[in-house]
Amino acid sequence: MVDPTTLERLHGRFEEVLVEAATSDAPFVTEAATHIISAGGKRFRPTLVFLASQFGGPVDEGDLIDAALVVELTHVASLYHDDVMDEADLRRAAPSANARWGNSIAILIGDYLFSRASARVAKLGVEYVALQADTFARLVQGQIAETRGPGEGEDPLAHHLQVVADKTGSLIATSAVFGGMVSGASAEVIEALRSYGEEVGVVFQLSDDVIDITSDEAGKTPGTDLREGVPTLPTLMLGASSDPADAELKTLIDGDLESDEALTVALDGLRAHPVMAQAKAEVRRRAELARSHLAALPDGDAKDMLAQVCTDLVERST
């Protein structure tokens, strides 16, 4: 049932209802709430809902679309808030909502979209509401932990991995679980989907961490996180090294990287360092861990596509 034509049709329908869900009777609210949605996006979470719905019984397509809406609206809402906190000017190559309308509007539109997600999840039932509430709590806790940074004596790498799991893994896990729930899948299948989703979410972020160093100008601008001092897997691994030979590079990447010259020297230093191979190996290891959770699922096209996600995540960063 999950042939490419069906997926394409579901995605087409999804795009329509996503815009409908963000539409208000106040024209300005509609304009601001559809701004990031219209700027594009991979719709990875909805895809996961659709694929994960293939492991149970017959699926009500209205429920399936609603579940996909809940996770995508929550995701987009969190991006409006994230861009305020990160003072980001761009989102999906378009001006961010805060750049265009200011922080207050961006925060309120995030709230508005979250209210639209709440309306949809209420239609699905109390079990969905409970999971959505817990997922929202994890998103917020992850963001709070990131904002505060590691506590006194806390391992910065362990802190980063917890932030990534809460901020990214949680909603991706819930996307997979919602797909399982909509299809009435068994508890065992739903648990496998949850574990897979959580791990894929973490791998997705960690592969992004690697790409921040390895990308060339044709792809993501290299060194964006490095320049801003945002912790990533390679820099945290370097930070954990007690080898005196690494001291110079550590000081360099902790220093002022505003100039293009300084950034290039730091990027070249990291690219030539064994920590990159170590970070890539960790992405590969965790992608294989994600794939291993699929063993509990019945074979078929949907399972193959979920496995392909793991392969793609490794390939994009190694």
Measured from the CB atom, the residue of 167 and 293 that comes closer to Mg ion is 167
Task: Give yes or no for a contact between 29 and 109, defined as CB atoms under 8 angstroms apart.
Answer: yes
C-beta of 2 vs 140, nearer to ligand FPP:
140
Q: What angle do CA 86, 92, 93 make, to 5 degrees?
A: 100
Distance CA 87, CA 96 (A): 9
301 is in the binding site of which of ligand FPP, Mg ion, none (Cβ under 5 to 8 A by kind)?
Answer: none
Taking CB atoms, the residue at the shortest distance from Mg ion is 86
Would you tell me the crossing angle of helices 61-85 and 103-124 to the nearest 10 degrees? 160
Residue 97 Cβ, how far from ligand FPP at the closest point, in Å?
12
| Maximum alpha-carbon separation in the chain | 63
What's the closest the beta carbon of residue 273 comes to Mg ion, in angstroms? Answer: 26
Measured from the CB atom, the residue of 110 and 234 that comes closer to ligand FPP is 110
Cβ closer to Mg ion: 72 or 82?
A: 82
How many of the other CB atoms lie within 10 Å of CB of 243?
9
Q: What is each CA distance from 164 to 43, 107, 202, 307, in whole angstroms?
A: 19, 22, 6, 21
Q: Decide if 43 contacts 97 (C-beta within 8 A).
A: no
Which residues form the interface with ligand FPP (CB under 6 A)? 74, 77-78, 81-82, 86, 88, 110, 114, 136, 139-140, 143, 167-168
Nearer to ligand FPP, 131 or 294 (CB): 131
Residue 260 makes CB contacts below 8 A (sequence gap 6+) with none
Q: Of 86 and 301, which has the nearer Cβ to Mg ion?
A: 86
Residue 139's binding partner among Mg ion, ligand FPP, none (Cβ under 5 to 8 angstroms by kind) is: ligand FPP
How many angstroms separate the CA atoms of 297 and 88, rounded? 40
Shortest distance, position 205 Cβ to Mg ion, whole Å: 11
110 binds, among ligand FPP, Mg ion, none (CB under 5 to 8 A by kind): ligand FPP
Minimum Å distance from CB 73 to ligand FPP? 9
Q: Which does 78 bind (CB under 5 to 8 A by kind): Mg ion, ligand FPP, none?
A: ligand FPP
Phi first, then psi, for residue 90 (nearest 5°) are -125, 145
Binding partner of residue 77 among Mg ion, ligand FPP, none, CB cut-off 5 to 8 Å per kind: ligand FPP
